[in-house]
Structure 1
Amino acid sequence: MELYPINLKLAGRRCAVVGGGAVAERKVRTMLAAGARVHVFSPMLTPGLSRVYKDGRLHWTPRAYQPGDLHNFFIVICATDQAEVNRQAAAEARSAGALVNLADSPELSDFHVPAQITRGDLLITVATGGGSPALARRLKEDIAARYGPEYGEYLALVAKVRADMKNRLATAREREGFWRETIDPDVLNLLKNGKFTEAEERIRHAACCAGSES
């Protein structure tokens, strides 16, 4: 089955997680990082989730999921250690219009959560359609080693000079020249070595030179 890749904006969205174990914790942390309003249904929480709850970043119903719980959620993740409970919760959530993920049954899910590498605003994801989480983790490790924090720092610098760049570079040709000049090993190496001022100067110089081309 082919999947449609998409990055969702979860900021302010109500999302639910059924279960409070280690798998649930990973799902919760990812959604919280995206700005979601997360509600957990579980008798118990991992120590990590307990700390998140005590920090006021998590809504928690301290009991097992019950029918009627899963209305008005955008995403529902079913992550208990009981397959039948996951399926029952998934059926209710889906009938209420939510997108559903069953941690133990990728084939029954509406979506899969890919392995991800985050470098500032740079987001790289790896998915195997649920076929091999181990391969996804291995590829994630390889990609993470290749693309370090300097790529996120590069994007932050470009955002910093974006307004000036738009004023200087009026044509598509000029903008193309700018990207060609700045996305190069020299700028990235400067950032990798902590030379942020030099990297910014190089980016601004590239914008000036591109803007002066005839």
Structure 2
Amino acid sequence: MELYPINLKLAGRRCAVVGGGTVAERKVKTLLAAGAAVSVFSPELIPGLHALEAAGQLTWVPQVYQSGDLHNFFLVFCATDKQDINRQAAETARAAGALVNIADAPDLSDFFVPAQVAHGDLLLTVSTGGGSPALARRLREEIAARYGPEYGHYLALIAKLRPEIRSRLGTAREREKFWRETIDHEALDLLKRGKFSEAEERIRHAACCTGP
């Protein structure tokens, strides 16, 4: 199966989850983390979803979805424990122009949500095309063990220093060489130990040595 990898900006976009159980809760939490405006269609909610609704983080429509409910949504997740409802909801949502994910039918879905490791703006993902969520989780655990929070701190630091480095190093070749050589174990080790100022100074010092 050929897939096109993409990271979506969902801030403020309307997304729907059909279902109120454990799977639906996982979908809702990832959507909320991305800033989406989430509506949940289900006669009942598990406690975790109730808590999110009570906190005003989602809109709850306390009924099985009805024809017309799934219009004007960007993404729709069909996550009930009933295959026929999932498929009916998916057909309705897709006909209305939404991209659809069906929890129990990856072959009928428009997209998959990869297993992910996130540290700040650093996002590492693993997808098996819906073929083996267990394998995706296993690989995610291995990636999480290999790339810890220090990599997220490093990304935040270079984003902060990028304008300064750009002004110091005049050519694209100089900047490419600098960033490639600056990603070293010493700077990452300093960040891992919480020595942010020392790591920042190390990168600045490297720029001075690299510059004209």
TM-score by length of 2: 0.97
Match of 1:56 in 2: 56
Secondary structure in structure 2 of the residue aligned to 1:52: helix
Secondary structure in structure 2 of the residue aligned to 1:40: strand
| Structure 2 counterpart of 1:139, one-letter code | L
Match of 1:124 in 2: 124
| Structure 2 counterpart of 1:171, one-letter code | T
Aligned residue runs from structure 1 range 32-181, under 5 A: 32-181=32-181
Match of 1:185 in 2: 185
Deviations 1:18-50 (A, max 9, x none): 001110111111011111101000111121111
Instruction: Indicate the percent of aligned positions where both proteins have the same amino acid.
Output: 73
| Structure 2 counterpart of 1:14, one-letter code | R
State the shift of 1:71 in Å.
0.1
Match of 2:201 in 1: 201
Q: Is the 8 A contact 1:78 1:89 kept in 2?
A: yes
Secondary structure in structure 2 of the residue aligned to 1:165: helix
| Structure 1 counterpart of 2:42, one-letter code | S
**Gap regions ≥5 residues in structure 1:** none
Secondary structure in structure 1 of the residue aligned to 2:211: helix
Q: Quote the Cα distance in structure 1 between the aligned partners of 2:209 and 2:60.
A: 55
**Gap regions ≥5 residues in structure 2:** none
Q: Is the 8 A contact 1:126 1:140 kept in 2?
A: yes
| Structure 1 counterpart of 2:86, one-letter code | N
Q: Quote the Cα distance in structure 2 between the aligned partners of 1:109 and 1:192.
A: 39
Q: Is the 8 A contact 1:175 1:210 kept in 2?
A: no
Deviations 1:76-115 (A, max 9, x none): 0000001000000000100010000000100000001110
Q: Quote the Cα distance in structure 1 between the aligned partners of 2:203 and 2:44.
A: 51
Moved over 3 A (4+): none
Q: Check if 1:5 corresponds to 2:11.
A: no
State the shift of 1:64 in Å.
1.3
Deviations 1:180-199 (A, max 9, x none): 23211110011111111110
Q: Quote the Cα distance in structure 1 between the aligned partners of 2:124 and 2:144.
A: 9
Q: Quote the Cα distance in structure 2 between the aligned partners of 1:76 and 1:210.
A: 50
Q: Quote the Cα distance in structure 1 between the aligned partners of 2:204 and 2:62.
A: 54
| Structure 2 counterpart of 1:180, one-letter code | R
State the shift of 1:177 in Å.
2.4
Deviations 1:118-173 (A, max 9, x none): 01111011111111111111111011000000000001111111221121122112
Give the count of matched residue pairs.
212
Secondary structure in structure 2 of the residue aligned to 1:134: helix
State the shift of 1:207 in Å.
2.2
Deviations 1:46-81 (A, max 9, x none): 211111111111111011111110000000000000
Q: Quote the Cα distance in structure 1 between the aligned partners of 2:187 and 2:165.
A: 17
RMSD: 0.9
Match of 1:29 in 2: 29
